[in-house]
């Protein structure tokens, strides 16, 4: 009796949520697909004044592997989690927050989104990330859904790029052989698109370039990794370095050009002095010129030289005048050690 009442309570809860939040019944199928129009994250939209819905199209037409790039805070992780939540809701029989959807049933759902660290395990966060990826690669099948959020960020940039590229290549080969699984991944490693070897190795293509005219073409294009970006727009703010932008939270075909990390640091309240120095270092790295000392460092060096001269010019500090002592102390106090 308790089990029956609990089951009815679940059905009533799902029905009430569907009515109150304007959910729609998805079409469930046996195909390897996830297509949804104007999809929304059912929890995230309750925390903001205005939520921007997005379309999702993971299928053989647009590619079963999607790589999503975008600036910090542009909504990549929310989009990734939304796909997982909608898949789960649809598969338990719930209506979902979309205008329409056609979703293939999955047998396994793997995620590499959050590292669950604990003192009980002597593993670093990156080791935990690698364990999650290894589990995906070993146990996924053509009916799995894989959600990977910024894999490789927990180690050196070059190692992270190489590992991500290798994982994508392995998954691409799996899709080519078996027609699945569906993979959605986010990354800030723009090098995999910019370096010719990696780009040609993985055969990145933007989704608007893909045209499937017959079954043979569809089979060929399932190996293609489609590229999407969280769109943004430039804003008119006078600043040094990267052009400041505002996130539009809309997924469109393409590849990001930068992470706009300095804008994120500014919003977070990082000191302007630190940001200015960061811009100087970035300019030097882009131009491949030596990183010069900062203006503060130059001024500090000059101040130390003056302090040294004051000290050595006095023959005997035991008999020095009070004016000489005050001059030495004032010069020492004027030097900032920050």
Share of the chain above pLDDT 70, in %: 82
- Per-residue pLDDT tens over the stretch 229-279: 998 776 655 555 555 677 789 999 988 888 888 888 888 888 888 888 888
- Per-residue pLDDT tens over the stretch 92-118: 999 999 999 999 999 999 999 876 666
Task: Label the pairing between strands 54-58 and 34-39.
Answer: antiparallel
Highest mean pLDDT among 185-189, 213-217, 303-307, 311-315: 185-189
pLDDT band at 221 (very low <50, low <70, confident <90, very high): very low
Q: What 3-state class would DSSP assign to 329?
A: helix
Burial level of 305, CB count in 10 A (0-12/13-18/19+)? exposed
Omega before residue 39 within 30° of 0, cis: no
Q: With beta carbons less than 8 A apart as the criterion, state whether 35 and 58 touch.
A: yes
Give the global pTM: 0.77
Q: With beta carbons less than 8 A apart as the criterion, state whether 141 and 176 touch.
A: no
Q: How far apart are CA 251 and CA 123, in angstroms?
A: 35
Q: Tokens in use for 127?
A: 């080791």
Residue range 2-259 forms a domain whose CATH class is alpha beta
The residue ranges of DSSP E strands in 24-121, in sequence order, are 27-29, 34-39, 54-58, 65-69, 100-104, 108-112
Q: How far apart are CA 97 and CA 86, in angstroms?
A: 8
Per DSSP, the residues of 60-84 read TTTBSEEEEE--TTSSHHHHHHHHH
């Amino acid at each position: 009796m308790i089990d029956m009442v609990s089951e009815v309570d679940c059905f009533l809860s799902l029905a009430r949520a569907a009515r109150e939040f304007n959910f729609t019944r998805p079409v469930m199928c046996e195909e390897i697909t996830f297509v949804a129009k104007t999809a929304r994250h059912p929890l995230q939209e309750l925390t903001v004044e205005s939520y921007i819905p997005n379309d999702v199209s993971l299928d053989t037409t647009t590619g079963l592997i999607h790589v999503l790039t975008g600036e910090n805070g542009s909504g990549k992780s929310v989009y990734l989690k939304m796909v997982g939540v909608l898949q789960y809701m649809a598969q338990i029989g719930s209506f979902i927050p979309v205008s329409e959807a056609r979703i293939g049933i999955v047998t396994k759902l793997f995620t590499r989104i959050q590292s669950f660290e604990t003192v009980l395990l002597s593993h670093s966060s990156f080791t935990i990330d690698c364990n999650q990826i290894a589990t995906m690669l070993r146990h996924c099948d053509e009916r799995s859904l894989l959600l990977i959020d910024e894999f490789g960020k927990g180690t050196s940039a070059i190692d992270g790029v190489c590992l991500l590229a290798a994982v994508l290549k392995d998954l691409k080969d799996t899709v080519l052989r078996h027609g699945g699984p569906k993979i959605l991944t986010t990354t800030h490693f723009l090098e995999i698109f910019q370096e010719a070897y990696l780009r040609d190795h993985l055969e990145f293509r933007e989704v608007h370039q893909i045209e499937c005219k017959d079954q043979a073409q569809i089979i060929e294009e399932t190996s293609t990794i489609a590229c999407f970006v969280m769109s943004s727009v430039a804003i008119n703010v006078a600043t040094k370095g990267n052009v400041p932008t505002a996130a539009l939270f809309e997924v469109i075909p393409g590849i990001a050009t930068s992470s706009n990390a300095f804008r994120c640091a500014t919003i977070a309240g990082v000191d302007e002095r630190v940001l200015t120095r960061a811009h100087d270092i970035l300019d030097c790295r882009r131009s491949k010129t030596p990183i010069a000392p900062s203006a503060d460092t130059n001024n500090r060096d000059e101040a130390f030289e003056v302090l040294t001269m004051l000290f050595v010019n006095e023959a005997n500090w035991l008999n020095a005048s009070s004016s000489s002592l005050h001059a030495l102390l004032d010069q020492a106090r004027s030097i900032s050690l920050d």
